[in-house]
Structure 1
Amino acid sequence: MKRWLAAVALGLTLSGLAHAAIDTYEFANDAERDRFRELTKELRCPKCQNQDIADSNAPIATDLRREIFRMLGEGKSNQQIIDFMVDRYGEFVRYNPALTGKTAVLWFGPLGLLVGGLVVIGVIVGRRRRTSLSDHADTLSAEERQRLDTLLDKKQDD
């Protein structure tokens, strides 16, 4: 009986997924369909944040796909559609934001951090080498240096 109830509960849970809305749009030609796919892959879902609107099931992604379809039907260019979405949702809606003063940190920040880290590592290694070389030179006493010199002289005479 418990297994039967578990199976019914699982079936009811999964049936909700089976009824997910699927967008069906009629395009005038294949070029328009390709533009639609390209735009929906290029734009990010504002709710999901790490998913494009083509793959998102969020209600806002459905609205954005419908809006793109409407604008394509009006004959707007890809750039006009992207500009409209950026004006409405901000630069975040693009997976590849344009290079501007505001987004320069996004584009060049990781490289700057890498270069900065390499400089810090270089400075640390350089300081350690300088201190270790000067420390080793001063570690022998005068008596030890004299003894070392005599040993080295004997070695050279052989």
Structure 2
Amino acid sequence: MQITVQGRGSAAVVLEALHVRVVNRAAPAADRGSVYVLDDGCGAGITPRFFSVDLDAHQSLVRSMPGDDAGTKIPAIDFPYRVSLQEPEVLMVSALNESCTCDWYLNLDWSSQGRTGTVRIDDNGRPFRSTSTKGLPGYRYDRVYHQPGRWVPIPAANLSSTGG
């Protein structure tokens, strides 16, 4: 998921930490569907920060990861970050899980001008839901070999390389 963080005024806001809170873990349902890979498209003019969270772990932690922005290698740079109205940050969070269906949300801790707080990042008031993609059929949208484009199957062996 992509999270864009920006201050409301000219004062700097320091992003202190990002935490994951898993509120429910269950075995993946047998009828959970298919995997659709949505990695086609263009990025913005802001260099993102990359993070990963393993939802299968007993104590899930958000970890800074190296990334790739259109061929440019991005080093892993952990918190804190500074944002303002003119200087936003883009946080790219990859949630991975192979053995569970998990309900979860993120908490972003911040400080500015002597004040502190936490912003909950969720799905319009509800936790996000992620499930294992292990054993599911996968598809990607192909605009190169199929004009104007269509969903084509991904061989099961290649699903793990798509982040699924």
Q: TM-score range by the shorter chain?
A: under 0.3
Bigger relative contact order, structure 1 or 2, given CA contacts below 8 A and separation 6+?
2
TM-score under structure 1 length normalisation = 0.23
**Which structure has the greater CA radius of gyration?**
1
Between Structure 1 and Structure 2, which shows a larger proportion of helix residues?
1
Select the structure that is richer in strand: 2
Query: What TM-score do the two structures reach when normalised by structure 2?
Result: 0.23
